[in-house]
């Protein structure tokens, strides 16, 4: 099955890496292009992560050292933290999704082993990273286009999707039908004798 895009209209192409707990990637590490119907290719740039705004993020400090690969992170206080939040260790490229919280022992449990060492008293803050990365794309040529996306920095091999670009989409057709119905309705609503 393919996506259907309207010619000349901006759409988004993306990938969800949140399920793999891959957050905070540099958009330039993504390699993406699409194949045109004439056999040429067009590069896609401008990838970035969709990040939610967090007005009052939960925060805490690490309570002891935690080694890379560990899932249990002892902290000074779990108040304000909830399952499903994403946390980042300040000053380090370490993000983790909170799978469970041990309130009796002040432990945040990550869904996967952490990607680096956390030192005692490191600040840990809730962030709005989603792990969903995307770029805006506008295609001005109708036909079938195949997108290929990869990211060598994380071992993401080619992922592909087919997009059909059309001159007119369903909304255009519905608008035209409504316009015709309004014109016909106007004719039917005339009282009296029609003079030619």
| Per-residue pLDDT tens over the stretch 68-87 | 999 999 999 999 999 999 99
- 41: Cβ–Cβ under 8 A, 6 or more apart, which residues? 33, 34, 35
Q: Which of 120-124, 131-135, 187-191 bottoms out in mean pLDDT, i.e. has the lowest?
A: 187-191
26 vs 184: which has the higher pLDDT: 26
Q: Could you tell me where in the chain the CATH 2.60.40.10 domains are found?
A: 3-51+132-188
Q: Left (φ > 0), alpha (ψ -120 to 50) or beta: where does 24 sit? A: left
Secondary structure of residue 72 in the 3-state scheme: strand
Secondary structure of residue 78 in the 3-state scheme: coil
The alpha carbon of residue 102 and the mean position of all alpha carbons in its chain are separated, in whole angstroms, by: 30
> For 137-194, how does the pLDDT look when each residue is reduced to its tens digit (9 = 90+)?
999 999 999 999 999 999 999 999 999 999 876 665 565 666 666 666 655 554 544 4
- Residue % of the chain over a pLDDT of 70: 85
Q: Could you tell me where in the chain the CATH 2.40.10 domains are found?
A: 59-127
Domain range 59-127, CATH architecture: Beta Barrel (2.40)
pTM for this model (two decimals): 0.79
Handedness of CA 12, 18, 21, 23 (dihedral sign): positive
Identify whether the C-beta of residue 83 lies closer than 8 Å to the C-beta of residue 126.
no
CA 3-6-11 angle, to 5 degrees, is 65
Identify whether the C-beta of residue 166 lies closer than 8 Å to the C-beta of residue 140.
no
Rg (CA), the chain: 26
| pLDDT for res 117 | 98
CATH superfamily of 3-51+132-188: Immunoglobulins (2.60.40.10)
Identify whether the C-beta of residue 126 lies closer than 8 Å to the C-beta of residue 97.
no
């Amino acid at each position: 099955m393919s996506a259907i895009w309207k010619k000349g209209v901006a759409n988004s192409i993306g990938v969800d890496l949140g399920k793999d707990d891959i957050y905070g990637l540099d958009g330039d590490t993504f390699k993406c292009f699409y194949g045109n119907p004439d056999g040429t290719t067009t590069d896609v740039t401008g990838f970035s992560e969709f990040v939610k705004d967090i007005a009052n993020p939960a925060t805490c400090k690490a309570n002891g050292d935690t080694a890379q690969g560990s899932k249990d992170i002892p902290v000074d206080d779990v108040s304000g933290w909830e399952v499903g939040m994403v946390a980042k260790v300040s000053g380090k490229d370490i993000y983790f999704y909170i799978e469970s919280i041990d309130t009796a022992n002040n432990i945040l449990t990550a869904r996967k082993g952490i990607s680096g060492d956390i030192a005692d008293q490191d600040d840990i803050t809730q962030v709005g990273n989603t792990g969903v990365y995307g770029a805006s794309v506008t295609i001005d040529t109708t036909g079938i286009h195949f997108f290929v996306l990869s990211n060598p920095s994380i071992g993401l091999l080619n992922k592909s999707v087919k997009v059909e670009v059309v001159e007119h989409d369903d909304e255009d057709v519905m608008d035209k039908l409504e316009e015709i119905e309004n014109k016909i309705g106007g004719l039917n609503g005339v009282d009296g004798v029609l003079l030619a």
